[in-house]
């Protein structure tokens, strides 16, 4: 039995990219592995959040985790800020990291650029990776199922874990990334060379998991393609249509070859209609379950129990780390 850990930020409404790139995968682990799924609200505050909205988004995300099929009797579902070990180990990991390696993180460079100069770049954007390393390492994680954008974060997690182990003694298992072959990076519907993101200001670029059917249809119909009107997979030359094919492939479990055959001689119009229909059929039952969970007290009970369970495992790792580092008096 392997240990699985993954987190999603409650920084907005969950996108089809978050779902297909990472969350859809989560349910496949729950029957055979020890799974920790976290709502990483302390990562969300690396950029300003409106407090009531953050509280609401965290709960909504928990409901969505359940709605996609995670079973709280099989997985530990919890909110990061409710398990204090995350920030404690996060600080320790920050002291092991160097400014140089943190400044080289592409996500930091991308996000910092939006804030202008050093006086307005939140320091949390720079120190985010050591906190993420702590999230993962606390649970002695074997695999981290995430989208491709998180690859560099998993690499730095391994580097920091190794640095600790060789400097102070074995405390951490080295985790490995699990990504999908197709769909590890779902692109924006409007700028298909850019990653689809929750925080994209152009809502046409992003189908959300909770979008109404007519909104999904509108967004897919307006998705950027090319003028060739032929459906085949070519990430470089036909980024828009290839992205839509990747989405269709993940939703229907058809390979891109099968999709090419299916749509030979047919135009983009029909393909887009079928794709929208497939997304609507996938999201409909998720949305139904989501609205049941989000209005129930059961959700809060699950989160409270999840935090207590996560804390027990996290404390065992942190105690060892603090002892090895000389931070605690007792083992
Ligand atoms: N476009 C994507 N394609 C595939 N996977 C993706 N993920 C995110 N975007 C895509 C994966 O979703 C999980 C949760 O992501 P996150 O909430 O930790 O934050 P993120 O990667 O920064 O996602 P966003 O949507 O771009 O959020 P904002 O706009 O707030 O920064 C991760 O496993 C991620 O890989």
Ligand 1 centroid to residue 17 C-alpha, Å: 7
Which one of the listed residues 195, 218, 230, 320 is annotated catalytic?
A: 195
Say what the pTM is.
0.95
Question: What ipTM does this complex have?
Answer: 0.95
Ligand 1 and 196: CB distance under 6 A: yes
What are the φ and ψ backbone dihedral angles of 46, each rounded to 5 degrees? Answer: -70, -15
The one catalytic residue in 24, 109, 173, 198 is: 198
Cβ of 238 less than 6 Å from ligand 1 = no
Neighbours of 44 (CB within 10 A): 23
Contact 331, 323 (CB under 8 A): yes
The C-alpha torsion from 138 through 139 and 143 to 146, rounded to 10°, is: -60
- Closest-CA residue, ligand 1 atom 24, reads 197
The question of whether 109 is a catalytic residue gets the answer: no
pLDDT tens digits, 294-323: 999 999 999 999 999 999 999 999 999 999
Give the pLDDT confidence of 129-153 residue by residue, as tens digits. 999 999 999 999 999 999 999 999 9
What's the whole-number average pLDDT of the chain?
A: 96
Q: Return d(Cα 187, Cα 242) in angstroms, integer.
A: 10
Residue 112 dihedral angles phi and psi, to the nearest 5°? -65, -35
Residue 259 has pLDDT above 90, yes or no: yes
Residue nearest to atom 15 of ligand 1 (CA): 8
Q: CB of 198 closer than 6 A to ligand 1?
A: yes
Positions at the binding site for L-tryptophan: 135
What is the position in ligand 1's atom list of the atom closest to the CA of 19? 12
Sheet holding 3-8, edge to edge: 75-79, 34-39, 3-8, 143-145, 176-178
- Among 24, 88, 111, 219, the active-site one is 111
Residues 6 or more apart from 28 whose CB is under 8 A from it? none
- Under the banding of pLDDT at 50, 70 and 90, the label for residue 114 is confident
Tell whether ligand 1 has an atom less than 6 A from the beta carbon of residue 129: no
For residue 265, the model assigns a pLDDT of 92
Reported as a single tens digit per residue, the pLDDT across 167-210 is: 999 999 999 999 988 778 999 999 999 999 988 899 999 999 99
Above pLDDT 70, what percent of the chain?
100
Q: Distance from the CA of 179 to the center of ligand 1, in angstroms? A: 12
11 lines ligand 1 (CB under 6 A): yes
Phi, psi of 4 (to 5 degrees): -115, 135
**Domains in the chain and their CATH numbers?**
3-181+296-325 (3.40.50.620), 213-290 (1.10.240.10)
User: For 1, which DSSP code?
Assistant: -
Q: Model confidence over 47-84: pLDDT tens digits? A: 999 999 999 999 999 999 999 999 999 999 999 999 99
Residue 92: the pLDDT is 98
Q: Which of 5, 10, 18 to mutate to test the pocket of ligand 1 (most atoms within 8 A of CB)?
A: 18
- Told to judge if 198 belongs to the known catalytic residues of this protein, a careful annotator would answer yes
Q: DSSP string covering 171-220, please?
A: --PPPEEE--SSSSSPBPSSSTTSB--TT-S-GGG--BTT--HHHHHHHH
74 is catalytic: no
The answer, yes or no, to whether any atom of ligand 1 lies below 6 A from the CB of 49, is no
């Amino acid at each position: 039995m392997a240990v699985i850990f993954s987190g999603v930020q409650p920084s907005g409404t969950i996108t089809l990219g978050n779902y297909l790139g990472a969350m859809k995968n989560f349910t496949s682990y729950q029957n055979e592995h020890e799974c920790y799924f976290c709502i990483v609200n302390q990562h969300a505050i690396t950029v300003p959040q409106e407090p009531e909205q953050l509280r609401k988004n965290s709960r909504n995300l928990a409901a969505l985790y359940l709605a996609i099929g995670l079973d709280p009797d099989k997985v530990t579902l919890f909110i990061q800020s409710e398990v204090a070990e995350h920030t404690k180990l996060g600080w320790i990991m920050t002291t092991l990291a160097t400014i140089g390696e943190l400044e080289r993180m592409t996500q930091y460079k991308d996000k910092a650029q939006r804030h202008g100069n050093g006086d307005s770049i939140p320091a949390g954007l720079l120190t985010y990776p050591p906190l993420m390393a702590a999230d993962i390492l606390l649970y002695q994680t074997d695999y981290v199922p995430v989208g491709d954008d998180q690859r560099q974060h998993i690499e730095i997690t391994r580097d920091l874990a190794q640095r600790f182990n060789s400097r102070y003694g074995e405390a951490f298992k080295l985790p490995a990334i699990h990504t999908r072959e197709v769909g590890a990076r779902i692109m924006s519907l409007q700028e298909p060379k850019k990653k689809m993101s929750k925080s994209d200001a152009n809502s046409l670029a992003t189908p959300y998991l909770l979008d109404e059917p007519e909104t999904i249809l509108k967004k897919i119909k307006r998705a950027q393609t090319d003028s060739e009107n032929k459906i085949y997979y070519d990430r470089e030359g036909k980024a828009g249509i290839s992205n839509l094919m990747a989405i269709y492939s993940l939703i229907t479990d058809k390979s891109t070859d099968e999709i090419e055959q299916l749509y030979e001689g047919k135009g983009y119009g029909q393909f887009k209609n079928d794709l929208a229909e497939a997304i609507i059929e996938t999201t409909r039952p998720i949305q139904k379950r989501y609205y049941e969970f989000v209005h129930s007290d059961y959700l809060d009970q699950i989160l409270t129990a999840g935090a207590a369970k996560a804390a027990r495992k996290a404390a065992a790792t942190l105690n060892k780390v603090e002892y090895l580092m000389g931070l605690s008096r007792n083992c």
